[in-house]
Structure 1
């Protein structure tokens, strides 16, 4: 089983920010080259100022992308993203923590969206009895609470 994982695309209007959409297309083209059919987007697919849900919906409906399954968790910049905004059959959004088996034999993926004031460690603690021995954490946020230091390379930008 092969799966591609990305995060922080911060999509905005295709017309205004074509390079972000080109980055997504580049990821998918590489997936085609490697025969990968699942793309997990671990938060911040959209930028908070501009949520182009209909653009992504139409993008994913294209015939060339219909065999790709898009698993999306909301991040801190797109926490309002929800399945209600999409009609494409190949998009699944996890607004709540969810354990999902993928592949044969199954490998369990634990999807944890960004939840303000909660670390992923706190979220995992609530589900620990439901997790198998083999599982993969897919989340957007910090695993542990701690001090948040500014990014020295980009002033004003937090970097975990």
Structure 2
């Protein structure tokens, strides 16, 4: 039994790259001979977007040789109440239609419920789903909500707020071997606790600039560990360019050299993160002027690119006698030469204190 798992495409009428991502996912499912494609919530960005464009799904799914299960999410939950037809072999999950018996597994789904805004309410729903699990074959839970864990931040999810929050420890005592989830956007994330897997597929296409890096989907072969598959959908890529006061070249020239070394694929929108420090007085450049120049260079290199300018001008400190003495001393502690990273860290500490 092979299952392809994704979520959070947030389809809209004006987002070509998201529809393209859906077609890439369907083709990936075909190439990997999956039995079921599951979309764990927020297939559409809103009910209004769904009403305007859902007929396009019929064409995309019409020749699919697999079954597709669509779980309502917090963005599109009310759309599915109208019972509209989305295509052959496409099943919309509801509270009354949420148990699916497969040859090698049982799938139990929990449709998004906006009234479940606390952990207590969500736990009650999950425990109810557990009463439908099989004792003779693996059980898979489909879920759209917020996993409460210290390594997930609120900005990693589709939006801030309480959307069916649940603690990972709850699943330790339940009879689900796999939890396939949606609502977490940033990246595909696989958590293992004892013999259970909790998998967020992440958005398979960059919805905002928070979703950085190549996008992926989750391929699950029942009885095995989940597998990450890359898809060639649109994504943002963060590329850091660190300026340093020991740089011998103009920061503009350093940026140009970085651009020359890059080969950016057509489906990528680069975000150049410019960090570190430079001597504006030496190059007759203020922070604002340098930022403007880099923005123009980035756009000429790739119209989709952007610059996140975080660098600081040390021109105010460059003529400070204390600063000059510190720079002469930095690099040697107990007469031992520091590496470049050690120098950088010492300078960072000093600069932050001075500024």
Pairwise same-fold verdict (TM > 0.5) = yes
- Which residue of 128, 131, 134 corresponds with 2:130? 128
Please show how residues 28-43 of structure 1 align to structure 2 within 5 Å. 28-43=26-41
Residues 98-155 of structure 1, C-alpha deviation per residue, up to 9 Å, x if partnerless? 22112x2x311111111123254321212333212321111101366xxx9531x79x
Higher strand residue share: 2
1:141 is aligned to 2:145:
yes
| Matching of residue 95 in structure 1 with residue 94 in structure 2 | yes
Change beyond 3 A, Cα 1:127–1:68: closer
Q: CA deviation at 1:29?
A: 1.1
Structure 1 gaps of 5+ residues are none
Equivalent position of 1:55 in the other structure: 53
Q: Distance in 1 between matches of 2:131 and 2:154?
A: 36
Find the aligned partners of 1:108 and 1:85 in 2 and give their Cα distance: 26
Seen in structure 2, the aligned counterparts of structure 1 residues 149 and 143 have a Cα distance that, compared at 3 Å, is closer
Cα distance change, pair 32–127 in 1 and its aligned pair in 2 (3 A): closer
> 65, 72, 75: which one pairs with 1:74?
72
Instruction: State the 1:91 CA deviation.
Output: 1.4
Aligned counterparts of 1:8 and 1:28: Cα–Cα separation in 2: 15
Change (3 A) 1:3 1:112: same
Contact residue 62 and residue 88 of structure 2 kept, 8 A: no
CA deviations 1:25-47 (Å, max 9, x no partner) are: 11111112111242111000001
> Could you say which residue in structure 2 is the equivalent of 1:19?
17
1:30-87 per-position Cα deviation (integer Å, ceiling 9, x unaligned): 1121112421110000012643346334433458634232210100000113261115
Distance 1:54 1:91, change over 3 A: farther
Structure with more helix by fraction:
2
Name the structure 1 match of 2:207.
none
How high is the TM-score relative to the length of structure 2?
0.38
Question: Is residue 73–residue 93 contact of structure 1 (8 Å, CA) maintained in 2?
Answer: yes
Hey, what's the Cα distance between the residues in 2 that align with 1:25 and 1:62? 7
Q: In structure 2, what is the Cα distance between the partners aligned to 1:53 and 1:79?
A: 12
State the aligned residue count: 153
Q: Relative contact order (C-alpha < 8 Å, sep 6+): which is higher? A: 1
Equivalents in 1 of 2:124, 2:139: separation in Å?
A: 17
